[in-house]
C-alpha cells in the first residue's frame, strides 16, 4: 500500500494535544457538598463490577487517538499498488438523441436512466481510474475529457441535456477510440436505447461495452415538414407534411396547421400500423410567417409531434411599365398580386430600389440601369441592333434549363412577326428561331440584367396563351433573384449554409462579421459571416432559430419575419427523422461485458477510513453518554 | 443584608403575637414540668418519713385511717428551653446557607419562649460545645441573643452529636426542652446524641435543615466531591442512575429521622431552605397544635 500524500502524517502530531487535553480533562470538577456519606452509600451499592467500567476512561483516550489516526491516514490518501498497475480508462458514450427523450413506465426518460447508470459507474471508479464522457446526440462531442475527478464527471453528466437530433453513436465511438491509446484496461461504454442502425454490430465490437436503456413505446411523429411558394402562382404555397405511425396498432388523431398562430387547417389522420403518410397541401397567402404543425395526440416523444417551417413572404415588386398602350401586358402585370404597377409614357430617370422597368416598344438609345424587361424592341439601343423583322418565326430552340423558361413551351405558339435582333454584347438566348435569331434573350449586366422579348404581341396568340403570364412571372421572379421562394426547414442535427440578405450582411459588417444565433431555448452564440454566407449548425433543438445582428433582437416574434425593424433570418428545425420517431425497441442487444464495477465497495480507501472514524466518534459518544445516563 | 434586620424583628413580633393568641402554651412555655415540688396543685400521697415537713401531712387521712401520709403537689416552675444550634461546616452550604435559616429560627423560637417567661439557653455545637448563650429570661435579652447568634459561624468542623450531647448534659443539669437545629449529617449517626438527651430526661425536638441541592443534586459526569466537614475527596462518575439512587438514599435518611422521632415521641420538623423562618415556625406551632 502507498500513500498519495505522505506529508499528511505530520497531522499525527495532533496526538500530543489530544493527550494533554485528556490529562487535563481527568482533573475532575471539584464540587463541595455537605457530606459524602449519602454518596458513599450509593456507590457502596453500585460498585463498578466490570473491568470495562474501570477502564472506560482509558478506552476513551485510545478511541480518540485511533480516531485521529484514521483521519490522518485518510488525508494521506492510501491506495493499493494494484490500483496503479490496473488503472482503467473508460470512455462513456451517452446517446442524447431525440429518441432518448422517450419516457418509460416509471415516468423517467431513457436519458435519465442512462445517467443513473453512468453515475453508478462514476462512483465505481477507483482512485487511479479515468473516465471521459462523450455525448452522441447530433454531433458527437467530448463534454469531459479523461479525468479521475468524480465531481467533475458528475457536473458534466448533469449538464448533458437531451437533444432533438439524430443518433450519432457510431461516430461517437470512433471519437472515443481516439481518446484511448492502449487496449489494455480500456473500455468504451455505450449507453443508448439502441434505436439506430448498426447497434448490434457496434455492441459486438471489442473494447465496446454495451448497455441498453429504455423500453418499447408507440409513437406518432412528423417525419417531414417543408413549405415552399408555388412555382405557378405567386401567392400560393405548398406544404409537404409526412406523418408516421410507429406503432403496431392503427391510430386516429388530428393535425393542426397554423400560420403565424392562426389556424389554417385541421387534418384528420388515420394511420395504420407502421404507416407513413405524406400529403401536399396548397394554401394561399401573400404574407409569410411560421407555419407550424401539431399532432393532437400525446405520446412518449413530444419533440416530433410538432414541426415548423418558414413561409417566405411575397414582397411587392415595383414595376414601371412604359408603353403607349398594351392591354395584354398591362392586364397580366396587374393580375399579378406581387406586382405594384406604375404606368408611364416616358422612360423614368430613376427606378425604385428593386424595381423592374418594362419597356413596351418605347426605347431610349441607352437602356437604363437596373432590371429591364423589353417587349417588342422597335429600335436599336446600346445593347443591340435591329435588322428589320422576322416573318413567321418558328421557335426551334428553347433553354429548358433556365428558370426563365420554366413551365413554358413556345414551339406551338403562333408568332407572325418578331424583330430581328443582333446583340452587341454577350447574351443568352432563351428561345431561338429556326434561323438562329434570338426571340427571347437574356443580357447580363453588372448594373442590372435585361430580358428582351422580340415577338410582336399585337400579332399572334402569345398574349392569349398561359405561357405569357408564366413567362412574365418567371421574369419577375428571376429579377427578384428568387428571393422568398423557399427557406427549407432543417432536420435536427444538420447544419445549413445560408446566404444572408443585404440587410443582415450590412449588420454583420457592422459587428465584426459576426451575428448572433438564438436557439429556441433562448441560448445564444456568435456565428461568423464569410462572403455573405454563414454556416449554422448542427442545430440540436427543434424550433425556430434566429440569426440577428444584436443579442437583443431575439425578441422579434417569429411571426414578424419581414415586418421586423431589424434584419433577421429564421431557420426552422424539426426532428424529421423516422429513426428517432420510431420508439419501438429493437431486439435487445446482449452485452458481452459487464459494466464498470468497482473493487472493494467502489470507494477509495480514505472513504472507509473516514467512515471508521465516524463510527469511532459514535462509540465515544456512546461512552460519554453512558457516563451520564447509564 | 443583616441576618436580623428590622424586617426580621417586625416579623418576629408578629410571630410572637400569633403564637400567644392561637397556640398559647402548646409549644413550649407555660407548661408544667414533670417534677413534683412545692406547687398548689395536688399530685398524690407518699409515706411519711422522719424529717418530712409536718405541714404537708394529710391530717384528715390520719384521722380516718390512722396512717401518716404526706401530700405531694405538682411543682410549678419555669420551663427551660435549650436551643442546640448546629455550627458544623455542613450548615454553611446551600443558597441561602442552612445556617442562616437555622439562626433565624433559633432567634424566633427564643423570642417566643422569652415572651412566655420561659428561660432559654443557646448552645452552638459541632463535634462538641463550641459556644453557648447562658440561661436567661425576659424579652429584653433578645437583642443580646441576636448578637450572640450573629457572632456564630458555621465552621465548627465535623458533626459529632454524641460528643456534644455528653458535654451538654453536664453543662445543663436542669432538664427542659432541647430543640436541636441541625442537618443531622453525623457520619456516626444522629441517634446516639439524641438518645443521650432522651436518657437524661430532656425533651428533644428536632428541626432538620437541608437544601434542594442536597435533596436533588444535578451534577453529572466525572466529578470530585469534597466533604466540607472533614475535607475528604471522593472521585465519582455520576450518572442518572446514581442520581436516582442518591435521591432514594437521601429520602430514606429523612424517613429514618421521622420514624425515629415518631418512635420516641419526639417532635420533628424537616424543612429545606426555601421557606422563611416565620413560615417554618408557624408550621411547627401548627404541627404542635394538632397533636
Give A58-72 pLDDT, tens digit per residue: 777 888 888 889 999
A178 and A196, same structural domain? yes
Name the band, by pLDDT with cuts 50, 70 and 90, for residue A481: low
Chain position carrying cell 443557646: B122
Q: Are residues A354 and A414 located together in one domain of the fold?
A: yes
Q: Quick one: average pLDDT of B6-30? A: 68
Q: Which residues neighbour A4 within 8 Å (Cβ) at sequence distance 6 or greater?
A: A76, A77, A78, A79, A127
d(CA A110, CA B279) in angstroms, rounded, equals 83
C-alpha cell, A345: 409614357
From the list A285, A282, A244, the residue with the least C-alpha distance to A262 is: A285
% of chain B surpassing 70 pLDDT? 89
CB contact B219 to A (< 8 Å): yes
pLDDT at A120 over 70: yes
pLDDT of the residue at A232? 63
**pLDDT greater at residue A313 or residue A240:** A240
CB contact residues (below 8 A), chain B span 151-180, against chain A:
none
Q: Does B223 touch chain A (CB under 8 A)?
A: yes
Give the domain CATH number at A241. Answer: 2.60.40.10
Rounded CA-CA distance A295/A290 in Å is 16
Q: Give the C-alpha distances (Å, rounded to integers) separating A233 from A319, A390, A477, A541, A582.
A: 18, 33, 11, 33, 37
All residues of chain A having their beta carbon less than 8 Å from the beta carbon of residue B239 are: 626-630
B106, three cell numbers: 433559633
Closest approach of B156 to chain A, Cα-based (Å): 13
pLDDT of residue B126: 92
Give the residue from chain A lying closest to B238, CA to CA. A628
What integer pLDDT is reported at residue A337 of this predicted model? 79
- Write the burial class of residue B229 (CB in 10 Å: 0-12 exposed, 13-18 middle, 19+ buried): buried
What pTM value is reported for the model?
0.50
- CB of B93 within 8 Å of a chain A CB? The answer is yes
H/E run at residue A547: strand A543-548
Domain contains A591: no
Q: Within this chain, do residues A190 and A324 fall inside the same structural domain, yes or no?
A: no
Domain check: are A61 and A178 in the same one?
no
Nearest to A595 by CA among A43, A9, A118, A173: A118
Q: Do A256 and A230 have their domain in common?
A: yes
Among the partner residues B220, B227, B237, nearest to A36 by beta-carbon distance = B227
B227, B241, B249: residue with CB nearest A33 = B227
pLDDT 10s digits, A395-419: 888 888 888 888 888 888 888 889 8
Pick the residue with more confidence: A106 or A94? Answer: A94
Per CB-CB distance under 8 Å, the chain B contacts of A29 are 219, 221-224
HEC profile of A129-176:
CEEEEEECECCCEEEEEEECCHHHHHHHHHHCCCCCCCECHHHHHHHH
Q: What pLDDT digit, counting tens, does each position of B42-86 carry?
A: 778 888 888 888 888 889 989 998 888 888 876 556 678 999 999
A356 strand-pairing partners: A319, A371
Partner A contacted by B185 (CB < 8 A) = yes
Whether a cis peptide bond, with omega within 30° of 0, leads into A580 is: no
Which H helix or E strand runs over A524? Answer: strand A524-528
Residue A617, SS3 per DSSP: helix
Tell me how far apart the alpha carbons of residues A132 and A178 are, in angstroms, rounded to a whole number. 12
Give the residue from chain B lying closest to A32, CA to CA: B226
Q: Which of A314, A330, A363 is the last residue of a domain?
A: A314
CA distance A18 to A29: 19
Average pLDDT rounded to a whole number, residues A423-433: 91
Same-domain check for residues A22 and A158: no
Q: Compute the average pLDDT of residues B282-290.
A: 76
pLDDT one-digit tens code per residue, A537-594: 788 888 998 888 876 655 555 544 444 456 788 889 988 888 888 888 766 666 656 6
Torsion of CA A321, A325, A327, A333, to 10 degrees: 0
Closest in A28, A45, A627 to B235, CB measured: A28
Instruction: Please answer yes or no on whether B239 and A39 come within 8 Å at the CB atom.
Output: no
A540 neighbors A138 (Cβ within 8 angstroms): yes
- Cβ contact A38–B222 (<8 Å): no
Which of A414, A419, A391 minimizes the C-alpha distance to A463?
A414
Q: Is residue A469 domain-resident?
A: yes
String of DSSP letters for chain B? --TT-HHHHHHHHHHHHHHHHHSTTTSSSS---S-EES-SEEEEEEE--TT--GGGB-HHHHHHH---EEEEEE---PPEEEEEEE-SGGGG-TTTTHHHHHHHHHHHHHHHHHHTT-EEEEEEESSSEEEEEEEE-SGGGHHHHHHHHHT--S---S--HHHHHHHHHHH--S--EEEEEE----TT-SHHHHHHHHHTT-EEEEEEEE-HHHHS----EEEEEEETTT--EEEEEE-HHHHHHHHHHHHHHHHHHHHHHHHHT-EEEEEETTS-HHHHHHHHHHHHHT-
Residue-wise pLDDT tens digits, A125-144: 776 788 899 988 778 889 88
Taking residues B14-25, what's their average pLDDT?
A: 66
Q: Do A29 and B219 touch (CB under 8 A)?
A: yes
What's residue B26's pLDDT? 44
The shortest CB-CB distance from B220 to any of A41, A43, A628 is to A628
Q: Is pLDDT larger for residue A603 or for residue A178?
A: A178
Q: CA–CA separation, B121 vs A163, rounded Å?
A: 105
State the pLDDT at residue A231: 65
Any idea what the CATH number is for the domain that residue A377 is in?
3.40.50.880
- Dig out the grid coordinates for A55 from the structure: 477502564
Whether residue B232 lies within 8 A of chain A, CB to CB, comes out as yes
Best of B185, B216, B232, B272 to disrupt the A interface (most A CBs within 10 Å) is B185
**ipTM for this model:** 0.82
pLDDT at B111 over 50: yes
In this structure, the answer to whether residues A504 and A467 fall within a common structural domain is no
- Looking up cell 433570418 gives A569
pLDDT value of residue A562: 47
**Dist CA B28 CA B32 (whole Å):** 10
Averaged pLDDT, A176-191: 79
CA distance B263 to chain A (A): 23
Mean pLDDT of all residues in A427-451: 90
Q: Rg of the Cα trace of chain B?
A: 23
From chain B, pick out residues whose CB is under 8 angstroms from the CB of A35.
90, 185, 187, 227-229
Question: Which chain B residue is nearest to residue A37, measuring alpha carbons?
Answer: B187
Closest-approach residue (CA) in chain A for B209: A34
Which positions in chain A touch B127 (Cβ < 8 Å)?
Answer: none
For A73, phi then psi, to 5°, come to -65, -35
Tell me, yes or no, whether A293 and A404 share the same domain: no
CA diameter of chain B: 86
Is residue A566 within 8 A of residue A548, CB to CB? The reply is yes
Poorest-pLDDT segment among A340-349, A616-625, B24-33: B24-33
Mean pLDDT of B226-245: 86
CB nearest A34 (choices: B228, B236, B237): B228
At A339-395, the pLDDT tens digits run 888 888 888 877 777 789 999 988 888 888 888 999 989 888 888 998 888 888 888
Take residue A253 and report the three cell numbers written for it.
388523431
Q: Determine the residue of chain B that is closest to A43 in CA distance.
A: B242
Q: Give the chain B residue nearest A39 (alpha carbons).
A: B246
Do residues A381 and A470 both lie within one domain? yes
pLDDT at A392: 86
Residues whose CB is less than 8 angstroms from the CB of residue A403 and which lie 6 or more positions away in sequence, other chains included: A474, A477, A478, A482
Please give the residue that has the higher pLDDT: either A183 or A3: A3
CA distance B246 to chain A (A): 6
Q: Please say which residue of A479, A498, A514 terminates a domain.
A: A479
Which residues from A are below 8 Å from B183, CB to CB? 34
Residue B249 has a pLDDT of 93
Quote the domain boundaries for residue A460. Answer: 317-479
What pLDDT does A134 receive? 92
Kindly report, residue by residue over A296-346, the tens digit of the pLDDT: 888 888 888 999 998 887 778 889 999 888 888 889 888 887 888 888 888
Question: Does residue B221 contact residue A628 with C-beta atoms inside 8 Å?
Answer: yes
Q: Which residue of B has its CA nearest to A35?
A: B227
- Gap from B162 CA to chain A (nearest CA, Å): 17
Which of the following CATH numbers is that of domain B6-23+78-289: 3.40.50.970, 3.40.50.410, 3.40.190.10, 3.40.50.1820?
A: 3.40.50.410
Considering only CB atoms, which chain A residues are within 8 Å of B233? 30
Task: Annotate A447-460 with b (16+ C-beta within 10 A) or e (fewer).
Answer: ebbbbbbbbbbeeb
Q: What's the gap in Å between the CA of B270 and the closest CA on chain A? A: 17
Residue A597 resides in a domain: no
Residue to test with chain B: of A23, A24, A39, A623, most B Cβ within 10 A: A39
Same structural domain, A128 and A245:
no
B171 to chain A, closest Cα gap in Å? 29
The answer to whether residue A598 is domain-embedded is: no
Q: Which residue of A has its CA nearest to B183?
A: A34
Rounded Cα gap, residues B8 and B142, in angstroms: 13
Residue B169 has pLDDT above 70, yes or no: yes
- How far apart (Å, rounded) are the C-alpha atoms in residues A454 and A168? 57
Which has more confidence, A53 or B157?
B157
Mean model confidence pLDDT for chain A: 83
Neighbours of B125 (CB within 10 A): 26
Residue-range domain boundaries for chain B: 6-23+78-289, 36-74
Q: Residue A565 has what pLDDT?
A: 54
Same domain membership, residue A188 and residue A124: yes
Q: In whole numbers, what is the pLDDT of chain B averaged over residues?
A: 85
Residue A443 is predicted with a pLDDT of: 92
A306 with A321, same domain: the answer is no
Among B227, B239, B240, the residue with its CB nearest the CB of A35 is B227
pLDDT digits (tens, 9 = 90+) for B122-162: 999 998 999 999 999 888 888 899 999 999 998 888 899 99
Chain A positions in Cβ-Cβ contact with residue B226 (cut-off 8 Å)? 30-33
Are B246 and A42 a contacting pair at CB < 8 A? yes
pLDDT for the residue A8: 86
Burial letters A50-62, b for 16+ CB under 10 A, else e: eeeeeebbeebbe
DSSP H or E stretch at residue A229: strand A219-229
* Residue among B220, B235, B242 minimizing CB distance to A46: B242
In a domain, A610, yes or no: yes
| Among candidate residues A163, A180, A215, the one where a domain is terminated | A215
Averaged pLDDT, A4-18: 87
Rounded to whole angstroms, how far apart are CA atoms B27 and B177? 10
| Distance between A71 CA and the closest CA of chain B, angstroms | 28
What are the phi and psi torsion angles at A297 (to 5°)? -160, 135
Rounded-to-10 torsion of CA B1, B2, B8, B10: -90
- B184: left (phi > 0), else alpha (psi -120 to 50), else beta? left
| Residues on A contacting B at a C-beta cutoff of 8 Å | 26, 28-43, 45-46, 57, 626-630
What is the model's pLDDT at position B74? 60
What's the pLDDT score for residue A553? Answer: 55
Instruction: State the Cα–Cα distance between residues A515 and A520, nearest whole angstrom.
Output: 16
Chain center to CA of A302: 16
What is the per-residue pLDDT for B263? 93
Other Cβ atoms less than 10 A from the Cβ of A166: the count is 23
CA distance linking residue A73 with residue A608, whole number of Å: 11
Cβ-based burial of A555 (10 A; exposed 0-12, middle 13-18, buried ≥19): exposed
pLDDT-derived band of residue B176, with 50, 70 and 90 as boundaries? confident
Q: Which long-range contacts (CB under 8 A, 24 or more apart) does A445-450 make?
A: A445/A369, A447/A369, A447/A370, A448/A369, A448/A370, A448/A371, A448/A372, A449/A371, A449/A372, A449/A478, A449/A479, A450/A367, A450/A371, A450/A372, A450/A373, A450/A374, A450/A383
Q: What's the whole-number mean pLDDT along residues A40-52?
A: 66
Which residue in chain A is spatially nearest to B254 when comparing CA positions? Answer: A38
Name the domain count of chain A. Answer: 5
Chain A residue numbers touching B187 (CB-CB < 8 A): 35, 37
* B94, B239, B240, B243, best to mutate vs chain A, most A CBs in 10 Å: B239
* Residue pairs between chains A and B whose CB atoms are closer than 8 Å: 91
Q: Which residue of A has its CA nearest to B224?
A: A30
Rg (CA), chain A: 40
Cα distance between the two ends of chain B? 37
Amino acid at each position: 500500500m502507498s500513500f498519495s500524500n505522505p506529508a499528511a502524517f505530520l497531522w499525527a502530531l495532533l496526538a500530543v494535544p489530544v493527550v494533554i487535553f485528556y490529562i487535563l480533562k481527568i482533573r475532575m470538577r471539584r464540587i463541595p457538598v455537605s457530606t459524602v456519606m449519602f454518596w458513599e452509600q450509593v456507590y457502596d451499592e453500585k460498585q463498578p463490577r466490570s473491568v470495562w467500567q474501570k477502564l472506560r476512561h482509558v478506552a476513551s483516550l485510545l478511541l480518540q487517538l485511533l480516531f485521529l489516526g484514521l483521519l490522518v491516514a485518510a488525508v494521506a490518501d492510501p491506495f493499493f499498488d494494484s490500483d496503479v498497475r490496473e488503472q482503467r480508462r473508460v470512455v462513456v458514450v451517452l446517446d442524447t438523441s431525440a429518441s432518448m427523450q422517450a419516457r418509460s413506465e416509471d415516468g423517467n426518460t431513457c436519458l435519465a436512466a442512462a445517467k443513473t447508470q453512468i453515475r453508478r459507474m462514476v462512483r465505481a471508479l477507483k482512485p487511479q481510474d479515468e473516465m471521459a464522457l462523450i455525448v452522441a446526440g447530433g454531433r458527437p462531442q467530448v463534454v469531459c475529457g479523461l479525468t479521475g475527478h468524480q465531481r467533475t464527471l458528475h457536473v458534466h453528466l448533469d449538464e448533458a441535456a437531451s437533444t432533438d437530433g439524430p443518433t450519432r453513436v457510431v461516430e461517437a465511438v470512433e471519437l472515443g477510440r481516439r481518446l484511448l491509446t492502449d487496449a489494455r484496461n480500456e473500455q468504451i461504454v455505450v449507453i443508448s436505447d439502441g434505436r439506430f442502425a448498426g447497434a448490434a454490430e457496434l455492441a459486438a465490437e471489442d473494447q465496446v461495452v454495451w448497455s441498453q436503456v429504455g423500453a418499447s413505446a408507440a409513437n406518432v411523429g412528423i417525419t417531414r415538414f417543408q413549405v415552399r411558394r408555388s412555382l405557378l402562382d405567386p401567392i400560393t404555397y405548398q406544404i409537404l407534411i409526412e406523418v408516421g405511425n410507429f406503432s403496431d396498432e392503427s391510430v386516429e388523431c388530428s393535425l393542426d396547421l397554423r400560420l403565424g398562430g392562426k389556424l389554417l387547417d385541421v387534418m384528420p389522420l388515420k394511420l395504420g400500423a407502421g404507416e407513413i403518410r405524406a400529403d401536399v397541401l396548397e394554401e394561399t397567402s401573400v404574407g409569410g410567417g411560421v407555419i407550424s404543425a401539431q399532432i393532437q395526440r400525446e405520446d412518449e416523444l413530444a419533440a416530433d409531434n410538432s414541426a415548423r417551417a418558414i413561409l417566405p413572404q411575397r414582397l411587392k415588386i415595383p414595376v414601371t411599365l412604359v408603353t403607349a398602350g398594351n392591354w395584354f401586358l398591362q392586364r397580366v402585370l396587374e393580375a399579378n398580386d406581387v406586382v405594384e404597377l406604375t404606368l408611364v409614357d416616358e422612360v423614368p430617370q430613376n427606378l425604385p430600389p428593386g424595381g423592374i422597368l418594362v419597356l413596351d416598344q418605347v426605347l431610349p438609345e441607352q437602356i437604363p440601369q437596373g432590371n429591364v424587361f423589353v417587349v417588342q424592341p422597335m429600335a436599336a439601343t446600346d445593347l443591340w441592333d435591329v435588322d428589320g423583322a422576322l416573318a413567321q418565326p418558328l421557335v426551334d430552340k428553347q433553354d429548358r434549363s433556365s428558370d426563365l423558361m420554366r413551365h413554358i413551351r413556345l414551339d406551338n405558339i403562333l408568332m407572325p412577326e418578331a424583330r430581328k435582333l443582333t446583340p452587341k454584347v454577350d447574351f443568352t438566348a432563351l428561345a431561338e428561331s429556326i434561323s438562329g435569331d434570338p426571340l427571347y434573350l437574356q443580357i447580363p449586366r453588372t448594373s442590372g440584367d435585361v430580358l428582351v422579348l422580340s415577338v410582336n404581341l399585337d400579332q399572334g396568340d402569345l398574349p392569349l396563351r398561359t405561357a405569357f403570364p408564366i413567362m412574365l412571372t418567371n421574369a419577375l421572379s428571376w429579377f427578384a433573384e428568387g428571393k422568398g421562394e423557399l427557406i427549407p426547414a432543417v432536420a435536427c442535427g444538420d447544419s445549413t449554409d445560408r446566404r444572408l440578405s443585404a440587410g443582415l450582411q450590412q449588420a454583420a459588417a457592422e459587428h465584426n462579421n459576426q451575428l448572433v444565433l438564438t436557439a429556441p431555448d433562448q441560448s445564444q452564440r456568435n456565428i461568423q459571416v464569410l462572403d455573405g454566407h454563414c454556416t449554422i449548425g448542427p442545430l440540436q433543438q427543434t424550433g425556430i432559430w434566429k440569426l440577428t445582428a444584436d443579442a437583443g433582437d431575439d425578441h422579434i416574434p417569429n411571426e414578424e419575419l419581414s415586418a421586423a425593424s431589424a434584419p433577421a433570418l429564421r431557420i426552422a428545425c424539426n426532428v424529421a427523422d423516422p429513426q428517432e420517431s420510431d420508439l419501438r425497441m429493437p431486439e435487445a442487444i446482449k452485452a458481452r461485458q459487464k459494466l464498470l464495477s468497482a473493487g472493494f465497495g467502489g470507494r477509495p480507501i480514505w472513504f472507509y477510513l473516514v467512515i471508521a472514524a465516524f463510527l469511532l466518534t459514535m462509540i465515544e459518544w456512546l461512552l460519554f453518554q453512558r457516563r451520564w445516563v447509564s | 443584608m443583616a441576618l436580623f434586620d428590622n424586617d426580621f424583628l417586625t416579623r418576629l413580633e408578629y410571630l410572637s403575637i400569633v403564637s400567644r393568641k392561637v397556640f398559647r402554651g402548646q409549644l413550649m412555655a407555660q407548661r408544667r414540668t414533670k417534677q413534683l415540688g412545692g406547687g398548689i396543685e395536688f399530685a398524690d400521697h407518699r409515706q411519711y418519713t422522719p424529717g418530712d415537713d409536718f405541714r404537708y401531712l394529710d391530717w384528715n387521712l390520719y384521722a380516718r385511717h390512722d396512717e401518716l401520709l404526706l401530700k405531694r403537689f405538682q411543682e410549678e416552675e419555669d420551663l427551660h428551653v435549650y436551643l442546640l444550634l448546629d455550627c458544623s461546616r455542613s450548615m454553611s452550604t446551600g443558597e441561602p446557607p442552612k445556617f442562616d435559616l437555622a439562626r433565624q429560627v433559633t432567634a424566633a423560637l427564643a423570642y417566643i419562649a422569652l415572651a412566655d417567661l420561659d428561660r432559654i439557653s443557646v448552645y452552638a455545637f459541632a463535634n462538641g460545645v463550641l459556644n453557648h448563650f447562658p440561661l436567661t429570661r425576659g424579652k429584653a435579652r433578645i437583642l443580646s441573643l441576636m448578637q450572640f447568634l450573629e457572632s456564630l459561624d458555621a465552621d465548627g468542623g465535623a458533626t459529632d452529636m454524641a460528643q456534644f450531647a455528653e458535654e451538654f448534659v453536664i453543662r445543663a443539669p436542669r432538664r427542659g426542652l432541647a430543640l436541636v437545629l441541625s442537618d443531622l449529617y453525623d457520619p456516626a449517626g444522629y441517634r446516639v446524641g439524641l438518645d443521650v438527651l432522651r436518657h437524661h430526661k430532656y425533651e428533644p425536638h428536632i428541626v432538620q435543615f437541608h437544601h434542594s441541592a442536597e435533596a436533588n443534586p444535578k451534577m453529572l459526569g466525572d466529578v470530585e466531591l469534597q466533604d466540607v466537614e472533614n475535607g475528604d475527596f471522593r472521585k465519582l462518575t455520576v450518572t442518572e442512575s446514581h442520581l436516582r439512587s442518591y435521591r432514594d438514599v437521601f429520602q430514606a435518611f429523612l424517613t429514618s429521622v421521622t420514624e425515629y422521632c415518631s418512635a420516641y415521641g419526639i417532635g420533628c420538623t424537616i424543612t429545606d431552605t426555601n421557606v422563611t423562618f416565620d413560615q417554618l415556625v408557624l408550621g411547627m406551632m401548627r404541627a404542635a397544635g394538632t397533636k
